A = this chain, B = another copy of it.
Amino acid sequence: MTEVKYDVLGIGNAIVDVLSFSDDKFIDDFGLRKGTMILIDEERADVLYKNMGPAAEVSGGSAANTLAGIASLGGTAAFIGKVRNDQLGNIFTHDMRATGVRYSTPPATEGKATARCLIFVTPDAQRTMNTYIGACSTLDDSDVVEEEIAASAITYIEGYMWYEPSTKDAIRKAMRLAKKHGRKVAFTPSDVFCIENHHQEFLDLIQDCDLVFANEEEVKTLYKKDTFEEAAEAIRGICDIAVITRSEKGSVIVTAQETIAVPAAPVAKVVDTTGAGDLYAAGFMYGLQRGWGLKECAELGGKCAAKIIQHMGARTLKPLSDLVEAA
Q: Give A contacts to B, CB under 8 Å.
A: 19-21, 49-50, 52-59, 68, 86-88, 91, 94-95, 98-99, 113-114, 312-313, 315-318
* Contacting residues, chain B, for A59 (C-beta < 8 A): 54
B95 near A54 with CB under 8 A, answer yes
* Contacting residues, chain B, for A87 (C-beta < 8 A): 86-88, 113-114
A88–B87 CA distance with the chains assembled, in angstroms: 7
A94 near B56 with CB under 8 A, answer no
Of A50, A95, A315, the most chain B CB neighbours within 10 A belong to A95
* Contacting residues, chain B, for A49 (C-beta < 8 A): 94
B55 near A95 with CB under 8 A, answer yes
A68 near B88 with CB under 8 A, answer no
* Contacting residues, chain B, for A94 (C-beta < 8 A): 49-50, 52, 54-55
A68 near B54 with CB under 8 A, answer yes
* Contacting residues, chain B, for A312 (C-beta < 8 A): 317
Supposing A87-B87, A87-B88, A87-B113 touch, asked if A98 and B317 sit within 8 A by C-beta, the answer is no
* Contacting residues, chain B, for A98 (C-beta < 8 A): 20, 52-55
B57 near A57 with CB under 8 A, answer yes
For the complex with contacts A54-B317, A56-B315, 5 further pairs of A-B residues with Cβ separation under 8 Å are A19-B317, A49-B94, A54-B59, A54-B316, A86-B87
- Looking across the interface, which residue of chain B has its beta carbon closest to that of A71? B54
- Looking across the interface, which residue of chain B has its beta carbon closest to that of A58? B56
* Contacting residues, chain B, for A313 (C-beta < 8 A): 56
Of A50, A113, A315, A317, the most chain B CB neighbours within 10 A belong to A317
A156–B316 CA distance with the chains assembled, in angstroms: 35
Enumerate 19 A-B pairs (CB-CB under 8 Å) in ascending A order. Answer: A19-B317, A20-B98, A21-B318, A52-B94, A54-B95, A54-B98, A54-B317, A55-B95, A55-B317, A56-B57, A56-B58, A56-B313, A56-B315, A56-B317, A57-B57, A57-B91, A86-B86, A87-B113, A87-B114
Closest 9 CB pairs between A and B? A57-B57, A87-B87, A54-B98, A54-B95, A54-B99, A56-B58, A53-B98, A87-B88, A21-B317
